[in-house]
Amino acid sequence: MSQALDGLRVLDLSRVLAGPYTTMVLADLGADVVKIELPGTGDDARAFPPHVDGESVYFMSLNRNKRSMALDLKNPSGHELFLELVQQADVLVENFRPGAMARLGLAYEDLAPVNPRLIYAALSGFGQTGPYSSRPAYDSVLQAMGGIMSITGPEGGPSTRVGTSIADITAGLFGTIGILAALAKRHETGVGQMVDVAMLDCQVAILENAIARYAATGVAPGPIGNRHPSVFPFEPFDTADGQIMVAAGNDALWARLCAVIDCQDLADDPRFATNPLRHENYDAMRAALAEAFPKRTTAEWQRLLDEAGIPNGPINSVADVVNDPQVQSREMIQTVDHPTAGETLLPGIPIKLGTTPGAIRRPAPMLGEHTAEIVAEWLGCSPERLARWRDQGAFGA
């Protein structure tokens, strides 16, 4: 079946997470992603634990649907071969520290003359400009500096890291959007451009209304545990056997919630009649609800709240998520067979396109697995020329 990004050729120099997440999303939607890896070691993430039969599950989860070519960009023949690939590429993605690509002679300014149609996406911690541009950075540093940690965590308690690498992943998503927007423009102009995405900028962008709230009130928000900053009740409660998240986002839902928990007195209580009043009398509201929920199990409450149309759900572990009927029905957990590691579970594709759906077509590649195939396909080059490049050290010593 045809896919949305069929025929889009992506040269992927990126490692670890932010860049590989971008190229994973592109590959999932049909792009032909060629992962250029350092001969010998490859993407750093190949070394990240845990491993199954020598293969990193971290690496495997991010690099499905890609092909791998081992190429030494510091070797003159490797460099020459790379420039030939650039001529055939639509998109280049890299996440080196700013300046590294220029030292290889592969900055956007070097490559645009080689292929004016090239869209060049550079993902980095702090961006290609500004006083921190050349600083090294990893996800946790950007989560700390970008403000999200300062609003995550127990109320009044320590700032808390988001448990997934959200700074890398959001940069990967904004990077993907930047590439596709540049592609839309290229359909009109025929010319590519540079896409500069900084993880720090993306952290600021996902703070969204926290910035406007700070500007309006002059107070920097802190961690508030599991409740919502401005809607009440919108938080988990302890049940007889666990917890349940309840989101009664407006006054009608509040009235229905009071009926479900069999507390007509709460529904009639003028202290809780509106969302601003529930904010003002939050502690009393919380106490009343916290008394009601332990009377039934999470599953019983789910059924009753569902019947009343009140948004609710359990706090699922990763194991619960993998086994959830909705998650399974949406094919959001897929089993992929890897030639050495065997069957792995991977997240599915959350962008469901009606006529050109994405697909997991292949497992993550072995290092350099597709070198010969790509050179033949992209460059139409003879076995003799391939052998010469190999002899000259383009693919490693």
CA distances from 170 to 33, 203, 241 (A): 20, 8, 35
Q: Which residues contact 317 (CB under 8 A, 6 or more apart)?
A: none
- Residue 116 as a binder of a second copy (CB under 8 A): the answer is no
The stretch among 69-77, 182-190, 370-378, 381-389 that binds a second copy (CB under 8 A) is: 182-190
Binders of a second copy among residues 33 to 72 (CB under 8 A) are 48-50, 52, 57-58, 60-62
- Residue 5 as a binder of a second copy (CB under 8 A): the answer is yes
Q: How many residues bind a second copy (CB under 8 A)?
A: 153
Q: Which of 89, 194, 257, 285 binds a second copy (CB under 8 A)?
A: 194
- Residue 100 as a binder of a second copy (CB under 8 A): the answer is no
Q: Which residues contact 321 (CB under 8 A, 6 or more apart)?
A: 327, 333
DSSP for 146-176 reads TSTGGG-SSTTS-----SS-HHHHHHHHHHH
- Residue 328 has phi, psi (to 5 degrees) of -70, -40
The span from the CA of 71 to the CA of 75, in Å, is 9
The span from the CA of 179 to the CA of 90, in Å, is 10
- Residue 99 as a binder of a second copy (CB under 8 A): the answer is no
- 228 is an active site residue: yes
Q: Which of 202, 261, 266, 289 binds a second copy (CB under 8 A)?
A: 202
Q: Are 71 and 395 in contact (CB under 8 A)?
A: yes
Binding mask 133-162 for a second copy (x = CB under 8 A): x-xxxxxxxxxxxxxxxxxxxx--xxxxxx
CA distances from 159 to 4, 149, 224, 349, 355 (A): 41, 5, 10, 31, 44
- Residue 107 as a binder of a second copy (CB under 8 A): the answer is no
- Residue 354 as a binder of a second copy (CB under 8 A): the answer is yes
Binders of a second copy among residues 366 to 385 (CB under 8 A) are none
Q: Which of 116, 225, 339, 383 binds a second copy (CB under 8 A)?
A: 225
- Residue 4 as a binder of a second copy (CB under 8 A): the answer is yes
- Residue 206 as a binder of a second copy (CB under 8 A): the answer is yes
CB of 299 to a second copy, least distance (A): 14
- Residue 397 as a binder of a second copy (CB under 8 A): the answer is no
Choose, from 187, 228, 279, 338, the residue flagged as catalytic. Answer: 228
The span from the CA of 113 to the CA of 115, in Å, is 5
Binders of a second copy among residues 250 to 309 (CB under 8 A) are 276, 279, 306, 309
Q: Are 219 and 271 in contact (CB under 8 A)?
A: no
> Catalytic residue numbers?
228
